[in-house]
């Protein structure tokens, strides 16, 4: 039979890509010359799983570092240890209290540790409601007060408006002293301001719309933990009233000045340099304590060494406990065989001892934790007790 009328049909050329697909590879990794029909996606995935994967490309050290920086989404900072179930539940509770639309600070998910200024105070787990331990205002979260989200550095981190008000109270006390106002005359005004402020604070915790209006108006002067906690002004007024009412004039004035200036100095320098110094306790660093000590010494020298002698005597100064002299108790002087004249120091030496003691008292009262109470209450009371007790023995 003749094959003259039969035409030879050439084979269709195959285009092979530089990187052969798994379907083009055999079990041994060689190219297959056989034609494979269309396959489904599931079959291709199964064939891909059974096919040896290509070896990873070898990169030099510089290229590996470049790719790891550009491709890896993992934060290169040190990862924290896994948290316990209890801390996870605390984080879930804090997230449930965060208002809708609020973002965690720095764009990261909030950690389960409540010391990163991300968690609002939560009610006591037992008894249902607030406990006296919830009076503490620290730590301060982020995302509850609108102005804190817009002014994170000026209002939230450095608390400039709040600290300005805190420091101004000290200058107001100096003005009252120079005007001849007695400490007992100031106490009724402090109590008159304390009662309505405390009543308003209780009201806002029972009426959510009023609380939102309250923090919108006064948010720049608040810490965000006070959104669900009590305002620090309440404890400030209560501490100032206690030290001015129960102690002599000079001790009361010094207690208020230490509250106004030493607490602000400790907070400011603790936030700026606390990371570089040892931590004394949670939220308290050596840098903040040293700042409180230095400001306490300066405040004591300023009041007893310059203000009272140059601007006085004023009404009530005759009742000062510190009159420029310190002496050992008679029993101690007799026990060591010292005459009364040799057991007494006066002038600059006595003022220096008084200044150092005031600084130590200010730093200690700022660091100590008394049942978790607010430091606006504990600083003036403890400072007044420390100075009063020292002068009672050596004054």
Q: What is the mean pLDDT of residues 37-43?
A: 58
Q: What is the mean pLDDT of residues 13-28?
A: 53
Look at residue 89 and tell me whether its pLDDT is greater than 80: no
Domain presence at residue 331: yes
167-176, 277-286, 347-356: least confidently modelled range: 277-286
Please report which confidence band the pLDDT of residue 122 belongs to, taking 50, 70 and 90 as the band edges: very low
pLDDT value for 46: 62
Look at residue 337 and tell me whether its pLDDT is greater than 80: yes
Look up the pTM and report it: 0.64
- Tell me how many domains the chain contains: 1
Please report which confidence band the pLDDT of residue 338 belongs to, taking 50, 70 and 90 as the band edges: confident
User: Crossing angle of helices 375-394/347-367, nearest 10°?
Assistant: 150
Instruction: State how far the Cα of 270 lies from the Cα of 285, in Å rounded to an integer.
Output: 6
Say which residue, 73 or 6, is predicted with more confidence.
Answer: 6
- Characterize 285-306 residue by residue with b for buried, 16 or more Cβ atoms within 10 angstroms of its Cβ, and e for exposed: bbbbbbbbbbbbbbbbbebbbe
Q: What is the mean pLDDT of the chain?
A: 74
What does the radius of gyration of the chain's CA atoms come to, in whole angstroms? 36
36-50, 315-329, 332-346: least confidently modelled range: 36-50
Domain presence at residue 36: no
Answer whether 236's CB lies under 8 Å from 259's CB: yes
User: Phi and psi for 281 in degrees, rounded to 5?
Assistant: -155, 180
Domain presence at residue 33: no
Please list, in sequence order, all residues whose beta carbon lies within 8 angstroms of the beta carbon of residue 47, skipping any fewer than 6 positions away: 22, 23, 39
Instruction: State how far the Cα of 315 lies from the Cα of 182, in Å rounded to an integer.
Output: 7
Please report which confidence band the pLDDT of residue 41 belongs to, taking 50, 70 and 90 as the band edges: low
Please report which confidence band the pLDDT of residue 81 belongs to, taking 50, 70 and 90 as the band edges: very low
Domain presence at residue 54: no
Domain presence at residue 192: yes
Say which residue, 14 or 323, is predicted with more confidence.
Answer: 323
Q: Which residues constitute the domain of residue 303?
A: 156-394
pLDDT digits (tens, 9 = 90+) for 295-333: 999 999 999 999 999 987 888 888 899 998 999 988 888
pLDDT digits (tens, 9 = 90+) for 100-114: 444 443 334 344 444
pLDDT digits (tens, 9 = 90+) for 228-286: 788 889 999 999 999 999 999 999 999 999 999 999 999 899 988 988 999 988 888 99
Q: Is the dihedral of CA 103, 158, 160, 221 positive or negative?
A: positive
pLDDT digits (tens, 9 = 90+) for 177-221: 999 999 999 999 999 999 999 999 999 989 989 988 988 888 888
User: Phi and psi for 25 in degrees, rounded to 5?
Assistant: -105, 145
Say which residue, 80 or 169, is predicted with more confidence.
Answer: 169
Domain presence at residue 318: yes
Domain presence at residue 216: yes
Please report which confidence band the pLDDT of residue 14 belongs to, taking 50, 70 and 90 as the band edges: low
Is the peptide bond preceding residue 182 cis, with omega within 30 degrees of 0?
no
Domain presence at residue 135: no
């Amino acid at each position: 039979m003749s094959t003259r009328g039969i035409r030879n049909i050439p084979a269709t050329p195959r285009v092979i890509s530089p990187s052969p697909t798994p379907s083009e590879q055999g079990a041994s990794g060689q190219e297959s010359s056989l034609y494979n029909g269309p396959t489904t996606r599931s079959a291709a995935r199964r064939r891909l799983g059974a096919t040896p994967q290509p070896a990873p490309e070898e990169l030099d050290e510089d290229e590996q570092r470049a790719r790891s920086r550009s491709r890896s989404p993992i934060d290169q900072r040190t990862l924290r240890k896994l948290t316990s179930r209890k801390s996870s539940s605390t984080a879930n509770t804090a997230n449930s209290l965060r208002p809708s639309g609020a973002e965690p600070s720095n764009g990261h998910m909030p950690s389960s540790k409540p010391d990163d200024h991300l968690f609002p105070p939560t009610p006591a787990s037992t008894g249902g409601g607030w406990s006296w331990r919830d009076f503490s205002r620290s730590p301060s979260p982020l995302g509850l007060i609108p102005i804190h989200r817009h002014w994170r550095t000026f209002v939230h981190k450095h608390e400039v408006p709040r600290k300005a008000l805190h420091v101004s109270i000290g200058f107001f006390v100096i003005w009252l002293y120079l005007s001849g106002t007695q400490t007992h005359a100031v106490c009724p005004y402090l109590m008159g301001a304390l009662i309505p402020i405390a009543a308003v604070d209780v009201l806002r915790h029972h009426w959510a719309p009023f609380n939102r209006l309250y923090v919108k108006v006064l948010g720049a002067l608040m810490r965000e933990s006070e959104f669900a906690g009590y305002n620090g002004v309440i404890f400030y007024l209560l501490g100032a009233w206690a030290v001015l009412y129960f102690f002599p004039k000079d001790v009361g004035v010094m207690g208020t000045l230490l509250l106004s200036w030493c607490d602000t100095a400790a907070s400011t320098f603790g936030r700026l340099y606390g990371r570089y110094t040892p931590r004394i306790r949670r939220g308290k660093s050596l840098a903040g304590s040293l700042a409180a000590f230095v400001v306490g010494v300066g405040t004591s020298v300023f009041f007893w060494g310059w203000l009272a002698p140059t601007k006085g005597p004023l009404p009530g100064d005759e009742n000062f406990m510190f009159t420029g002299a310190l002496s050992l108790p008679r029993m101690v002087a007799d026990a060591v065989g010292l005459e009364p004249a040799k057991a007494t120091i006066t002038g600059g030496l006595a003022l220096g001892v008084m200044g150092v003691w005031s600084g130590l008292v200010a730093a200690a009262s700022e660091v100590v934790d008394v049942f978790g109470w607010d430091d606006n209450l504990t600083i003036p009371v403890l400072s007044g007790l420390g100075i009063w007790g020292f002068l009672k023995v050596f004054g």
